[in-house]
Structure 1
């Protein structure tokens, strides 16, 4: 009986410590003003690549490009769609050889600049 009570008390105590550790909104941040959080330090990576336009979808504002490896973001050669603006699509056609720069944000690749 004593062992059961000890086991139950230990479990309750352990769970209360875990719950207390998760509840930190009142934590004092004195002396940490200059410290940057990981999210602030990490910016959307910008990369450059070359490839061939395979398709243009003006409704979805995407350009599908078969591109070579992109070491800046550790990508192998592949064919994928990139988000573009209307201005960036102007004058582009399937089959055009292009060089472009893009950035990644939330798993979405967006063209910054694109040239034939």
Structure 2
């Protein structure tokens, strides 16, 4: 019975907040025409690490790196593929020790910079 009351109260609270968030007819918006109404765009954070190149796949635009722990994204040491551009791969070979930075977007790790 107690759990049912909590569930009902929680649902009512959610519905009340949803109703408050809806547009309110008749609300005046005078004097706002000159204001910037830009949405804040969140950039994916950039993390840095060091590792060794294990494979390069120019056709898939990936570089596989065995890297150490990356505290910024709470990763343990591992070997994984990162998305990379052809230009970023210039001068790099399998076996090279590299420093690199990357960002996570949509579940994919993309190299921002990489160098020996």
TM-score (norm 1): 0.67
Structure 1 contact 100–115 (Cα < 8 Å) conserved: yes
| Greater helix share, structure number | 1
Secondary structure in structure 1 of the residue aligned to 2:72: helix
Structure 1 runs (4+) greater than 2 angstroms displaced: 24-28, 33-37, 40-43
Corresponding position of 2:53: 53
Corresponding position of 2:99: 99
Ranges in structure 2 where 5+ consecutive residues have no aligned partner: 1-10, 30-34
Task: Call closer, same or farther: CA 1:74–1:96 in 2, change over 3 Å.
Answer: same
Q: 1:5-30 CA distances to partner (integer Å, 9 max, x unpaired)?
A: xxxxxxxxx9xx95xx47x65357x6
TM-score (norm 2): 0.67
The count of corresponding residues between Structure 1 and Structure 2 is 98
- Residue 73 (1) aligns with residue 56 (2): no
Secondary structure in structure 1 of the residue aligned to 2:95: coil
Ranges in structure 1 where 5+ consecutive residues have no aligned partner: 1-13
Partners in 2 of 1:77 and 1:67 — Cα distance? 6
CA shift for structure 1 position 102: 0.8
Structure 1 contact 68–76 (Cα < 8 Å) conserved: yes
Which structure's CA Rg is the greater one? 1
Partners in 1 of 2:89 and 2:114 — Cα distance? 9
Secondary structure in structure 1 of the residue aligned to 2:91: coil
For residue 23 of structure 2, the aligned residue among 26, 34, 52 is 26
Partners in 2 of 1:45 and 1:73 — Cα distance? 9
CA shift for structure 1 position 42: 4.0
CA shift for structure 1 position 43: 2.6
Secondary structure in structure 1 of the residue aligned to 2:56: strand
